[in-house]
Amino acid sequence: MDQLRITGSQPETNTKKPLRVLVEAGDGRTNSAIFENGFLNHCLSLGAEVHVLSPGVCFEPFVERYRLPGTRFYYLSSQLAHKKKYRYLIRMEEYIRNVLVRRGFGRAHHWLWKIFGAWANAADAAALNDLLNEIQPDCLISADINLDTSRGLIALCQLKGIPTIGNVFSWDHPFRPHKSRPDRLTCWSEFMRDQLVKIGGFLPEQVEIIGAPAFDPYGDPSNIRTREDFCETIGLDPARPILLFATMGQMGPYWDETGTFRAFLEAMDHAALPGPPQVVLRLHPVSVDHYFDEFRDRKDLVFSRYSRYCPGMRWWPSRDEIVLAGNLLRHADVCISPGSTMTIEAAIFDTPTIVPTFNPIMSEEYDHHFKQICLSKHFRFLIEENTVCMTDTPEELIQAVRQALSDPGWFAEGRQRIRDYVTGPLDGRATERLAAAAVECAKLSAADTESDTTGK
């Protein structure tokens, strides 16, 4: 496909180059997290043009949703994530990096990247070289550096002397290999910064805590709905307890998510819980709907999930959908999740949370993935700090649900610890801080360029 360019304004008529921020947003959830919360408006209000590089540009509703004077849109091919011209050098760099991290020399990755990592990865983004020459951005910000689409672009920008910022999108991403080395990082919280320094080898001064842009709607008082209004919208009885079951997502083609949920329902049916409770099955965006069809005839069960979709970017939730999800977490009496981020999000609303660690259908595979991977990495903090209740059997799960319904303050100190250390600021201004970081970086870069040009 030829490079697709869509403009939202007329070119500048003065001779001075305007301040330009280039934003790489490679999937739907990251586009929603920043664009739905006003990132473009914040950058424009600070005096910068915004050039958006995204796979969503091929979808006209996406462009129309965000088109503003002072913005331009360029198509980002997902093939960029799969190209590896110097794959053996890249693999070697990744291998050496992992060895350095395991041995406590993670900071050496900075020099490893500069010596040949950036050069090897930049070759995969060579097709964007002409576009960068045309835009002449003052900085690049990657909305999610965990995506492979950002790897080559960050490297290419660095070789061209363009400052780079990488946003660490989710709380568990510090535990994943970072395949690029931006000049600066933004993240949610102290917890994420500590892991980026400890595991990723970044310097503390490279990492800025801004909060989670995806949570900004939660911090807006105008988005709070009463329990009665919310229940009417989703089809629930406000007088009965609400049990929210949030799936963790289809982790592989043969992964089963239904076993834990089925065991929970069977145990609940025999437990005579007070209420009786009603269940909201909140499907992760990568969960497969029809795998749960056997449960659709239950009168005490409501299905919920994000529905807006953008070709090439998977799920692309609207702000209204995000607000609804926030109210679901707010009004749920108990949140049950075997590993989704809602385990963390529930703490924002002080909702008691229970993590089932079992799946009777495929116990061996589940033990390997969940107990050996999740519990030893990003869930390790939750266990060590005793922030949520973990249950190993359906009977323990029902007992925990009963306890949470009778005592909503159960594990309240743990939820406070999550709010204090993991989620970061919850004032609804994370997106604003992300935009400010990008524009400030662009201003410093433009000032340096002007100084070099004038010889001052």
pLDDT digits (tens, 9 = 90+) for 242-271: 999 999 888 778 889 999 999 999 999 999
Closest CA to 353 of 393, 425, 408: 408
Q: How far is CA 43 from the centre of its chain?
A: 21
Are residues 238 and 156 part of one domain? no
Q: What is the mean pLDDT of the chain?
A: 89
Q: Mind listing the pLDDT tens digit for each residue in 62-78? A: 999 999 999 999 999 87
Q: What is the pLDDT of residue 110?
A: 76
In the predicted model, what is the mean pLDDT of residues 15-27?
88
Mean pLDDT comparison of 3-7, 109-113, 197-201, highest-scoring range: 197-201
| Proportion of the chain above pLDDT 90, given as a percent | 65
Q: Mind listing the pLDDT tens digit for each residue in 277-334? A: 999 999 999 999 999 999 999 999 999 999 999 998 989 999 999 999 999 999 999 9
Range of the domain at 27: 5-215+428-454
Q: What is the pLDDT of residue 1?
A: 40
Q: In the predicted model, is pLDDT for residue 24 greater than 90?
A: yes
Note whether 6 and 57 are within 8 A (CB). Answer: yes
Residue 16: partners with Cβ closer than 8 Å, 6 or more residues away: none
Are residues 149 and 49 part of one domain? yes
Note whether 430 and 209 are within 8 A (CB). Answer: no
Are residues 286 and 186 part of one domain? no
In the predicted model, what is the mean pLDDT of residues 79-84?
67
Q: What is the pLDDT of residue 10?
A: 46
In the predicted model, what is the mean pLDDT of residues 418-426?
94
Q: What is the pLDDT of residue 47?
A: 96
Q: In the predicted model, is pLDDT for residue 189 greater than 60?
A: yes
Q: What is the pTM of this model?
A: 0.91
Q: What is the pLDDT of residue 174?
A: 80
Q: Band the pLDDT of 11: cuts 50, 70, 90.
A: very low
Q: Is 13 exposed, middle or buried (0-12, 13-18, 19+ CB in 10 A)?
A: exposed
Instruction: Report the 10 Å Cβ neighbour count for 411.
Output: 23
DSSP per position, 341-396? THHHHHHHTT--EEEE---SSSHHHHIIIIIIIITTTTTHHHHHTT-SEEESSHHH
Question: Sheet containing 242-246: which strands, arranged edge to edge?
Answer: 301-304, 278-282, 242-246, 334-336, 353-356, 389-391
Are residues 186 and 80 part of one domain? yes
User: How many angstroms separate the CA atoms of 21 and 442, rounded?
Assistant: 6
Tokens of 190: 């102290």
Are residues 227 and 210 part of one domain? no
Q: What is the pLDDT of residue 422?
A: 93
Q: In the predicted model, is pLDDT for residue 14 greater than 90?
A: no
Q: Mind listing the pLDDT tens digit for each residue in 390-411? A: 999 999 999 999 999 999 999 9
In the predicted model, what is the mean pLDDT of residues 34-43?
96
Residue whose entry in the numeric block shows the structure tokens 């925990």: 400
Are residues 201 and 303 part of one domain? no
Residue 10 is classified by DSSP as: P
Are residues 153 and 245 part of one domain? no
In the predicted model, what is the mean pLDDT of residues 74-83?
78
Q: What is the pLDDT of residue 180?
A: 82
Are residues 442 and 323 part of one domain? no
Instruction: Name the pairing type of β-strands 353-356 and 334-336.
Output: parallel
Q: In the predicted model, is pLDDT for residue 12 greater than 60?
A: no
In the predicted model, what is the mean pLDDT of residues 164-170?
94
Higher per-residue pLDDT: 200 or 351 = 351
Are residues 372 and 225 part of one domain? yes
Are residues 414 and 446 part of one domain? no
Are residues 246 and 210 part of one domain? no
Are residues 241 and 209 part of one domain? no
Q: In the predicted model, is pLDDT for residue 413 greater than 80?
A: yes
Residue whose entry in the numeric block shows the structure tokens 């919310």: 230
Q: In the predicted model, is pLDDT for residue 21 greater than 70?
A: yes
Q: Band the pLDDT of 197: cuts 50, 70, 90.
A: confident
Q: Band the pLDDT of 427: cuts 50, 70, 90.
A: very high
User: How many angstroms separate the CA atoms of 57 and 131, rounded?
Assistant: 15
Helical residues (DSSP H) of 49-143, grouped into ranges:
60-66, 87-102, 109-112, 118-122, 129-135
Cis peptide before 276 (omega within 30 of 0): yes
List the CATH number of the domain containing 406: 3.40.50.2000
Q: In the predicted model, is pLDDT for residue 15 greater than 60?
A: no
User: How many domains does the structure of the chain reveal?
Assistant: 2
